[in-house]
A = this chain, B = another copy of it.
Amino acid sequence: MNIITISREFGSGGRELGKRLADLLGYDYYDSEIIAAIAEKSGLDKGYIEKALDQHGWQNYPITFHSSFMSPSYTDPNRVELLLDQKTVLEEIAAQGKNCIIIGRNADVLLERFKPFRIFVCAEMEAKIKRCFERAPKEENLTEKEMRRKIKQVDKARAQTRAILSGSSWGDPEGYHLTVNTTGWDLKELAKALAGFTTAYFESQKD
């Protein structure tokens, strides 16, 4: 069984790249499916779970889009339970023994014993800002400065969550097999190049 994990900077195109790679390799693809499975286990709302696991913070101060009585906080006791549920869900996926690609969710750390091929996807800040504006929901309406701030905050939260789970730093190239910069690439072409690279890796591990 080959597992590929994709960690990525916000706005780098890592998710699209992962989907394209899964299609090319004929691997199962896990992204929002993981949150859905946690929701089933915990009985909690998907939106709530996603917020609790991805504590961005940028939503609350000073840019506010949503407010809710059920908005998770950093000290939310559910959060630890949800991290445990997330681990269980990931291990259930791995236990199926099928080739797959998993986006985010610290699968690189949580599934370490399955020896996944760990990819980190980054991009230059200007490219990330451009990509985020292209994909932003209509009602978002951020300035460029706010978008830059949002990108940094989302990634900071990802780094913090990883720090709970691992001694190695989020985004440090020594923690991944390959760190890919999407800037200047057509993601379709990049996915093809990556498919070749990862196939070569799994072949080399058979020896």
Q: Which residues of B contact A193 (CB under 8 A)?
A: 196-197, 200-201, 204
Assembly CA distance A194 to B201 (angstroms) = 10
Knowing A178-B181, A179-B178, A204-B189, say if A122 contacts B173 (CB, 8 Å).
yes
Q: Which of B124, B176, B196 contacts A174 (CB 8 A)?
A: B124
CB A192 to nearest CB in B, in angstroms, measures 6
Q: Which of B124, B186, B204 contacts A204 (CB 8 A)?
A: B186
Q: Considering only CB atoms and an 8 Å cut-off, how many residues of chain A contact the other chain?
A: 30
Knowing A174-B123, A174-B124, A179-B178, say if A200 contacts B196 (CB, 8 Å).
yes
Assembly CA distance A169 to B204 (angstroms) = 32
Q: Which residue of B lies closest to A168 (CB)?
A: B124
CB A202 to nearest CB in B, in angstroms, measures 10
Q: Which residues of B contact A173 (CB under 8 A)?
A: 120, 122, 171, 173, 179, 181
A residues touching B (Cβ–Cβ < 8 Å)?
Answer: 120, 122-125, 171, 173-174, 176-181, 183-186, 189-190, 192-194, 196-197, 200-201, 203-204, 207
Q: Which residue of B lies closest to A115 (CB)?
A: B184
Knowing A179-B178, A179-B179, say if A200 contacts B192 (CB, 8 Å).
yes
Q: B185 near A176 (CB under 8 angstroms)?
A: no
CB A39 to nearest CB in B, in angstroms, measures 33
Q: Which residues of B contact A183 (CB under 8 A)?
A: 174
CB A20 to nearest CB in B, in angstroms, measures 13
Assembly CA distance A124 to B180 (angstroms) = 18
Q: Which of B122, B178, B194, B200 contacts A189 (CB 8 A)?
A: B200
Q: Can you add 7 more A-B contacts, CB < 8 Å, to A125-B174, A173-B173, A189-B204?
A: A123-B174, A124-B174, A177-B180, A179-B181, A185-B204, A186-B204, A189-B200
Q: Which residue of B lies closest to A184 (CB)?
A: B177
Q: A122 near B204 (CB under 8 angstroms)?
A: no
Assembly CA distance A196 to B185 (angstroms) = 16
Knowing A197-B193, A200-B193, say if A178 contacts B176 (CB, 8 Å).
no
